[in-house]
Amino acid sequence: MAINALKGTKDIFGTEIRNLQKVESIIREVCENFGIGEIRTPIFELTHLFQRGVGTATDIVQKEMYSFVDKGDNNITLKPESTAAVVRAYLERNLGENAQPTKLYYISPTFRYERPEAGRLRQFHQFGVEVFGSSAAIADAEVIAVANTLLKRLNIANVKLYINSLGGPKCREKYNQQLKNFLETKKDNLCSLCNERRIKNPLRVLDCKNEDCQKLFADAPTTLDALDPECREHFDTLTTLLTKMNIPFIVNPRIVRGLDYYTKTVFEFILDSEAYSGTICGGGRYDKLVEEIGGKAVPAVGFGTGIERLLIAYLAENPNQNIATRDIFIGYRGDAAMEKAMILVNDLRSQHINADTDLLNRSVKAQMKYANKIGAKYATIIGETELETATLLVKNMKTYQEHQIKFEDLLKFLFG
């Protein structure tokens, strides 16, 4: 009986992983430009961390986490998201004692038991940014600018930025009561999920995908109506900064995000394309999360995005990505030529050239076919004549132009 990969997981290799590496390299370049350092946290944490950080009333904690008891009787969970883990590391490693703000990014495998769909598997990869130490709206603007810059560098078009403010704890308490009162009048017509959420987590009701429920919410009170003067000023400053930074946005008071820890700013970049439609990136401010997880109050803001979704959108806007994997393929005919090919390939590799040769003793014709399949920029075959003259006939595999190159000049040719 064959053993196959589990549903919602996949093997990544070949062209797909090269494209994935390209997206990740652009991510790292953007973060470097913004002065954001990388952090890598373990793929599993104590379950209690996510219960406290994400919220016990969320779908993630209630339905989607991969949790188990290990041999030390610890209740362990594979990371369903990385923000809580980064906060744990921020506290445990005393990162607040360094120069502030602390700006971190992660690229991490993430695990959620949910129905697999385009761009979302049960094991997927997330990129995210977290900024600790600033309560000012300028930090929110910078985090949004990181996401906006990344989408531009990936050439992902048809994206709109939606922003909202949930206000601080007092604003949220006030709004939750207003919303509960409103939902009470609609309870007979709400779906069963909304009726469950309106008691436990009323904000999540507004995120319902049921069209009939959404129609009922048309005249619901908004979070913006419940903002106090300080939160209103914070939001107004953010919109002013985004405007001056030429980052287009739409204020949407229905944006609430799916996690309990958000305060004040929340935002989503929503993509509308044939390849993928929906939220491609989202985040916001979480000023109470560090305190909730056990530290002193530290303001923070960040976002996360699924890399698989980024990759789908990237390839749709940048088709026919043919990332060459070899600079040169050096084939051969005969044992003496094989030895010379191996010597040249080894010398080139020592100079950081991606060089390859044949390992299967194929015919010359088969070797050239192989060179084409692996995406070699150049290819050449060493035979008796080449050994006698110490000269190669190097073929450009794209233009078919041929170059006579001395053995000792090959490195210079490839670098030229």
Question: What per-residue confidence (pLDDT) applies to 230?
Answer: 97
- pLDDT 10s digits, 50-69: 988 777 666 677 789 999 99
Domains 14-168+228-317 and 326-415 share a fold: no
What value does the mean pLDDT of the chain take? Answer: 92
What are the b/e assignments for 188-217, b being 16+ CB within 10 Å?
eebeeebbebbeebbbbbbbbeeeebeebb
The pair of structure tokens assigned to 32 is: 């470097």
- pLDDT 10s digits, 225-237: 999 999 999 999 9
Domain ranges of the chain: 14-168+228-317, 326-415
Quick one: what percent of the chain has pLDDT higher than 90?
72
Question: What per-residue confidence (pLDDT) applies to 219?
Answer: 85
Question: What per-residue confidence (pLDDT) applies to 258?
Answer: 63
Question: What per-residue confidence (pLDDT) applies to 411?
Answer: 95
Question: What per-residue confidence (pLDDT) applies to 56?
Answer: 65
Lookup result for tokens 């609430």: 256
Which class is 14-168+228-317 in CATH?
alpha beta
Question: What per-residue confidence (pLDDT) applies to 91?
Answer: 96
- pLDDT 10s digits, 123-141: 999 999 999 999 999 999 9
Average pLDDT over residues 284-297: 92
Task: Give yes or no for residue 162 having a pLDDT over 90.
Answer: yes
Give the span between the Cα atoms of 26 and 399, in whole angstroms. Answer: 28
Task: Give yes or no for residue 352 having a pLDDT over 70.
Answer: yes
Using pLDDT thresholds of 50, 70 and 90, give the confidence band for residue 323.
low
Task: Give yes or no for residue 390 having a pLDDT over 90.
Answer: yes
DSSP-assigned beta bridge partners for residue 303: 129, 283
Average pLDDT over residues 236-248: 98
Question: What per-residue confidence (pLDDT) applies to 322?
Answer: 61
User: For the chain, what is the total number of helices (H) and then of strands (E)?
Assistant: 16, 16
- For every residue of 132-177, DSSP letters joined together read ES--SHHHHHHHHHHHHHHHHHTT--SEEEEEEE---HHHHHHHHH
Average pLDDT over residues 248-253: 95
**CATH H superfamily, domain 326-415:** Anticodon-binding domain (3.40.50.800)
Using pLDDT thresholds of 50, 70 and 90, give the confidence band for residue 310.
very high
Average pLDDT over residues 342-369: 97
DSSP state letter for 333: S
Give the span between the Cα atoms of 222 and 192, in whole angstroms. Answer: 22
Lookup result for tokens 């794209």: 398
Using pLDDT thresholds of 50, 70 and 90, give the confidence band for residue 321.
low
Nearest to 329 by CA among 402, 262, 396, 401: 396
Average pLDDT over residues 3-14: 93
Average pLDDT over residues 377-402: 96
Give how far Cα 1 sits from Cα of 5, 6, 8, 11, 15, Å. Answer: 13, 15, 20, 19, 29
- pLDDT 10s digits, 37-50: 999 999 999 999 99
Q: Let me know: does 77 contact 45? Beta carbons within 8 Å.
A: yes
**Amino acid identity, position 113:** Y
This prediction has a pTM of 0.88
Question: What per-residue confidence (pLDDT) applies to 324?
Answer: 62
Question: What per-residue confidence (pLDDT) applies to 118?
Answer: 77
Task: Give yes or no for residue 407 having a pLDDT over 70.
Answer: yes
Using pLDDT thresholds of 50, 70 and 90, give the confidence band for residue 197.
confident
**Coil, strand or helix at 7:** coil
Q: Let me know: does 299 contact 134? Beta carbons within 8 Å.
A: yes
